[in-house]
Structure 1
């Protein structure tokens, strides 16, 4: 069996506190619940959105912020595929932009359970990537905050943290 390295640890000054993580996970759970209730409602979505059907293997790097309408226009399979593709895309990045983090957050809110093994593996890759970038940081900035959010989502909410 291959040796998988540990997930890098960040400076204690930059890591989120346990209290913050617990509070954030509660907020994230409520956000997902609200989205799923809205998504399952019969309310018509705002017109003018384009259905996104990102196929595996196709580069997907949106330059616009995600919107509720855009995400709602995707079906469950497209949401999971887009999340996996976006996570694959960020693997070569040294930093994550605000836009990257917004898309990852929005897709994590919208991805529907149960998650397949491939999506879980992608979330583990996102945890590793965010932790690697975070471990290289030496001072607090906006990216540190966004990385802590994504680490909490992938590691705690989706259960990809090391035990």
Structure 2
């Protein structure tokens, strides 16, 4: 039997959480992978989400966030300065490599803002469904249904 690993899709999409949770339950998949930089996706409200990316060592000027169509791209590129080097580096455990992380956003999910705090980049998202697409109650009237004449309208 062939199994499918949905973890990459689950990690990089926002707003599809119910769909991927159902697929994970059906497939019985419970694993999770990690990649650079690590991040969390959390639901902060019924229609609000937050992506938190660990970007220790990066300044605001070295990070860029771009929302285009249904994708959110977070890029980081460390700008090394020759005058900052004070001595010989014996061990480097703090990664300073460039990265690009792309998240697929569900329909009507928009970026509301971003903040860099204590080495964590927080990107706040909200799902705003237009009124025309929200479910509505249809009243049931007594008697026969009314037929509207297209010519009279």
TM-score by length of 2: 0.24
Larger relative contact order (Cα-Cα within 8 Å, sequence gap ≥ 6): 1
- Bigger CA radius of gyration: 2
